[in-house]
Amino acid sequence: MEQDASDRRQAACTADAGLQSSSGASEHRALRADSGAEAERRPAARNRRSTIAAAACTTKNSSAAAAARRRSFTYVETEAAGPGGSSGSRRRSLAAPDLMAVFYPPNTLAQPTISDTPFDGAGAASWEPTLERAIRSIVSIKATCVRSFDTESSGTYTATGFVVDAAAGLVLSNRHVVNPGPVVAQAVFVNYEEVDLQPVYRDPVHDFGFFRFDPRQLRFMQAEEIRLAPHKAKVGMEIRVVGNDAGEKLSILAGTLARLDRTAPEYGAGEYNDFNTFYMQAASGTSGGSSGSPVLDIHGDAVALNAGGSSKAASSFYLPLARVVAALGLVRRGQPVPRGTVQAELEHVPYDALRRLGLPVALETRARAAAPQAQGMLAVRAVLPGGPADGRLRAGDIVLAVDGRAHVDFAALEAAVDARVGRAVHVRVWRGAAEHAAALHVQDLHAITPGRFVEFGGGVVNDLSYQVARSYGIAVGGGVYVASSGHALGSAGAWRGSVVLRVGDAATPDVDAFAAAVAALHEGARAPVRFFALDRPHRQRVAVMSVATRWHALRMATRDAATGLWAYRDLARPAPPPAGLLRPLAAPAHALPASLAPAGRVWASFVDVAFTAPFLVDGMRSTRFRGPGLVVDGARGLVVCDRDTVPIAVGDVAVTVASSVVLPARVVLLHPTHNFAVVRFDPARLAGAPPPDAPLDAAHYAGGRRLEQGQEVHVVAVTGDQAPVVRRTRVAARTMVATAECSPPRFRCANVEGVRLDDQPVCLGGVLCAADGRVVGLWVSVSSQDASGKDTTAMVGLDVALLRPVVDALRATGRAPPLRSLDVDLCPMRPAAARAMGLSAERIAQAEAAATPERAPQLLCVAGLLAPNTPAAGLLCAGDVLLERDGRPVRDVSELAAVSAPAVDLVVLRDGRELSLHVPTTELDAMETRRIVHWCGALVQQPYRAVLEQVRRLPSMVYISCTLYGSPANSYGLRPGMWVVEVDSQPVATVDDFISTLQALRLHCSEKEGTAASRYVRVTVVDKSLVTRVLSLRVDNHYWPPWKLEQDASSPSGWKTVSHL
């Protein structure tokens, strides 16, 4: 089923990884924008709401850069609620990029991570010498997740780590810092030396992982290390948590260990969650940026690893280090870390609850005698369907023994299971009133932890992971997980958090099957996709996906454990459809009942127009739009729609005829001031006659008549489900269409008069007809913003005469006509106001003489300039009252809004005096944007018309329209709305200059490959307020190769991508 647009809701633009922007008015046509490109219009901080069992909210203490989570533009920053809408947040708040790190004395070979210092701090006078030594081992981690993957979303964050092996360059931090997906990270030591970090291990379940750095990169200090001492943790121990808390360079937080057997914190469904382990707890009040900080005793040994905290209390949660020590030894020796699972989640249950579960007194007595310090036993909390324990263990089973040994704590049980990967373990459990035994195959946990993903249509899919499957209680391997929907999957509504089961007629249990299914499709085709949303796994959906791979790369990435990079390989693309599949299809028109007259005469000329933008350029905050179109020339396939349906030229257009046949179309014209666009489809793709031309009223089309107040009209419009709406009403008022400058800048309707109706139906748009069914006006949606920056839409009636210059030229020549303008924003002015500005009595009488019963006397005033670099900008000023054009009095805006002459002679009133001016006009581009350049995650283009309106002067012709999440541009401060004026001290005035500089820069970097200096580029930018900044940007051509997109008339879409600049 296809997406319905009846409510005109503007949905998230990312996150998808997918994108979440503020919603527009209820009648906005934008359907949904998804991160496809995951652009910078999402909320700023990587805050994810979550709760813990005791209703307190737990947060992970890594921190995100303030601009990292905006799903395409950095103009408004809001917090995003995570799954469940809970009140807390996963703390990934802003941390400064210049955070500190530290070292310590080297470990011994005999006991590299276990301290033999007894737990007795009586001899230590203070913490000062311990902390002075420890802070030299703690590093600030700056990391960027370059692609959404599994439970993580793309973006930038900062956290903490500490050196645990100085010789090998091993740094311990949290798993959610090391990240399961592709990550680029650096560590900053206490002396502000920066080293590259390579992720070498992240645990599939527990919240720890290791980075590696090259100690030779440190030139001004020697790395030291902190010893791991998990056995020293005691209740009542005084501790210090040292790290990058709240983005500070160094924070030292004090606390006292209160619990060693706390349940692992819950961060929310669909998020990363630890399980099958105890956590420690203390009231140290850690917050964003402190993830990965060592929890130190007074001797400077790490007794735990800081991982999360509560946003409603000072409680902090620490991961015990027993399993970390085991993994470190193997990583140090370059050996794989065995991890086993039976896909069952356990929990520690106290003895009083165990008795209620049926545990006999004899078994309790035996368990207490075997482990006097234990307060309970382990029990099965959940069993994943399809796993080794499915059908053999049940929730509530009390674990008595594994391979003949009793285990009352998680670490010992996990060690036993890890040692049996690929083999069976024998488990005895107490269930109800009897003992049961089962032999369970131990599965390799790494095998069900994804290490590959496919980039498809601007989105990312990966194998369904154990983490996600456990979170929702579904089987592993049942489909591919949508980490970011992008352009293609977003067209079917398969957003982030969906699981795709089938593409076309092929099942997709893994990414290999998904890639094969996509390759079997045809480019430009429409294929069914079967999927379900994880929050509703019981409800499968089938929707139609537009197969569009021409805009983005189609490739598979595989994690390379040796380098930490993800290696790409291109995948087979869908082939063009064979000629046999392009046979014409019939689209029979459906007659309307007589009760809907006069709609029957025009209804056959209506088509449905859908537009999807692959990139957020030209100020777009959404990527999917839909609305009605009117066929004005069926033989040539010309369709007119409003610019709230087709807002920009870069994208895919689909025209649906008679609700039956979907045809590809191309943008022919985007009117730069009036609110309409023209698209063209190929009539040869239809069997039989094309849709008839709309019956335009000759007098209104020629401009001899226009819509006036009190005139009776019939609204013939379309609802979201393509049903007709017919209503007889009257024109309530005729006024100038008022729209505001938008942020980010985007097209707005200007210098045109429209009408409002007495009784306006709720619809997507349509036409205004006379009683005989002839079209006298267009009923269109006009997009704008209110004072708070919220998107708004309004329905407005436009004279059909506005179409005549464009439609007549397209019919005659097949090309859009030249469009010229004075490039000023006009507004009406009453004679009384003009009199106060010094207008003579004769001019006032002239204006009053031009008044009609339908229109009060008015004049036109220049409200502002629409571009700072046009000839008119040097001659006209805001506040000028326009009196004459070419010797004739100016009566309404239609005489000035669109002109065809290269220049006009104007008489204006300025400062109480009349001036005669010869003003050249400006030729406007009917397509506006014709080229886009991508570099390091920034989409660069020539400033478009809406941008020119909002600046005093143009710093350059190189404008940043969008930055993508997880990119260097996003990480190092390039923001949408900036102009690039220099790259590495080379001035760049045009996009061509920019491309030439990038080509020279790439050659220069390749000659100096391997040096740190070659990877950083100085970029001088100027913002909207003309403030200049110099940014240092780290170039990453592996994950973010440069490319350009330019218009190409020979391409089916009208665009072609050049992969290498």
Q: Please list the active-site residues.
A: 176, 207, 290
Neighbours of 75 (CB within 10 A): 17
Cβ burial, residue 446 (10 Å; 0-12/13-18/19+) = middle
Comparing C-alpha atoms, which of 82, 1042, 31, 156 is closest to residue 620?
Answer: 31
Which run of H or of E encompasses 811? helix 804-813
* Residue environment code for 1036-1056, b if the CB has 16+ CB neighbours within 10 A, otherwise e: beebbbbbbbeeeeeeebbbe
- Classify strands 585-586 and 686-687 as parallel, antiparallel or unpaired: parallel
Q: 1000: which 2 tokens?
A: 């020279």
Please calculate the CA angle 68-69-71 and round it to the nearest 5 degrees.
120
* Beta bridge partner(s), residue 398: 379, 430
* Spatial distance between the Cα atoms of 455 and 443, rounded to a whole number of angstroms: 28
Which run of H or of E encompasses 480? strand 480-484
Comparing C-alpha atoms, which of 476, 493, 474, 495 is closest to residue 485?
Answer: 495
Q: Name all contacts of 684-689 with Cβ < 8 Å and 24+ positions apart.
A: 684/584, 685/582, 685/584, 685/585, 685/661, 686/584, 686/585, 686/586, 686/587, 686/657, 686/661, 687/583, 687/584, 687/585, 687/586, 687/587, 688/584, 688/586, 688/587, 689/634
* Beta bridge partner(s), residue 482: 461
- Classify strands 316-319 and 302-310 as parallel, antiparallel or unpaired: antiparallel
Those residues whose C-beta lies under 8 Å from the C-beta of residue 334, and which sit 6 or more positions away, are: none
Query: Taking a C-beta distance cutoff of 8 angstroms, is the pair 637, 1038 a contact?
Result: no
Those residues whose C-beta lies under 8 Å from the C-beta of residue 723, and which sit 6 or more positions away, are: none
Please calculate the CA angle 79-85-86 and round it to the nearest 5 degrees.
95
297 phi, psi to nearest 5 deg: -90, 180
CA distances from 683 to 135, 303, 635, 637, 687 (A): 72, 74, 6, 6, 9
CA distances from 756 to 29, 715, 769 (A): 19, 12, 14
User: Can you say whether residue 276 is alpha, beta or left, with left for phi > 0 and alpha for psi between -120 and 50 degrees?
Assistant: left
* Beta bridge partner(s), residue 924: 819
CA distances from 655 to 30, 233, 612, 718 (A): 17, 67, 12, 15
453 phi, psi to nearest 5 deg: -150, 160
* Spatial distance between the Cα atoms of 1022 and 1026, rounded to a whole number of angstroms: 5
Dmax (CA) of the chain: 112
* Beta bridge partner(s), residue 657: 607, 661
User: SS3 sequence, 408-450?
Assistant: CCHHHHHHHHHCCCCCEEEEEEEECCEEEEEEEECEEHHHHCC
Question: For helices 322-332 and 410-418, what crossing angle results, to 10°?
Answer: 30
CA distances from 691 to 163, 209, 584 (A): 71, 62, 14
SS3 for 516? helix
* Spatial distance between the Cα atoms of 461 and 912, rounded to a whole number of angstroms: 66
* Spatial distance between the Cα atoms of 76 and 742, rounded to a whole number of angstroms: 12
